[in-house]
C-alpha cells in the first residue's frame, strides 16, 4: 500500500521554527519528486517547496530563505524545515507526489503561527 504520512505540525510563536516530516511507504520514493503544499483557511492549496530525486529544490517566493526542503532516501522521508515563521504561514501542510496514474497526498498536518 502506498501512502504518505505527515507529522510535526503544531502551534508556534511568530519567529519560531518547526520541522515537518513526511514518511512514504512504497518503492517509488527514491525516484520521485516530492512536494510540500499548504492550504490556509479560505484559500486555495499552494505549492510551498519541491525536491527532485536528484536533490534539486524549488520554493515559493513567500518562503524562500525561510524554509528548507530535504529528503532522506534511506528513510523514505522528506522534511520541511520552517524558520522565521509568520502568522501568514498558518495552514494545513500536505505532502504530495505524483505517481504514474494518480496524485498521492498525505492527510495533512496543521501549523498554527500565533502569539
Q: Are 86 and 40 in contact (CB under 8 A)?
A: no
Distance between CA atoms of residues 108 and 5, nearest Å? 8
DSSP for 16-83 reads --EEEEEEEESTTGGGS-EEEEEE-TTS--EEEEEE-TT--EEE-TTTTTTEEEEEETTTTEEEEEE-
Please, is 7 exposed, middle or buried when counting C-beta atoms within 10 Å of its C-beta (0-12, 13-18, 19+)? middle
Output the pLDDT for position 15. 98
Output the pLDDT for position 1. 82
Largest CA distance in the chain: 43
Q: pLDDT band for 26, please (50, 70, 90 cuts).
A: confident
Mean pLDDT of all residues belonging to the chain: 96
Output the pLDDT for position 101. 83
Distance between CA atoms of residues 77 and 6, nearest Å? 9
Q: pLDDT band for 100, please (50, 70, 90 cuts).
A: confident
Q: How many CB atoms lie within 10 A of CB 113?
A: 19
Output the pLDDT for position 52. 97
Amino acid at each position: 500500500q502506498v501512502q504518505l504520512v505527515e507529522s510535526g505540525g503544531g502551534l508556534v510563536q511568530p519567529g519560531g521554527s518547526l520541522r515537518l516530516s513526511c514518511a512514504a511507504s512504497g518503492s517509488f520514493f527514491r525516484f520521485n519528486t516530492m512536494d510540500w503544499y499548504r492550504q490556509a483557511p479560505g484559500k486555495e492549496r499552494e505549492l510551498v517547496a519541491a525536491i527532485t530525486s536528484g536533490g534539486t529544490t524549488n520554493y515559493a517566493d513567500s518562503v524562500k530563505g525561510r524554509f528548507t526542503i530535504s529528503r532522506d532516501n534511506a528513510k523514505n522521508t522528506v522534511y520541511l524545515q520552517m524558520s522565521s515563521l509568520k502568522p501568514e504561514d498558518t495552514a494545513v501542510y500536505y505532502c504530495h507526489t505524483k505517481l504514474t496514474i494518480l496524485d498521492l497526498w498525505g492527510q495533512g498536518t496543521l501549523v498554527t503561527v500565533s502569539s
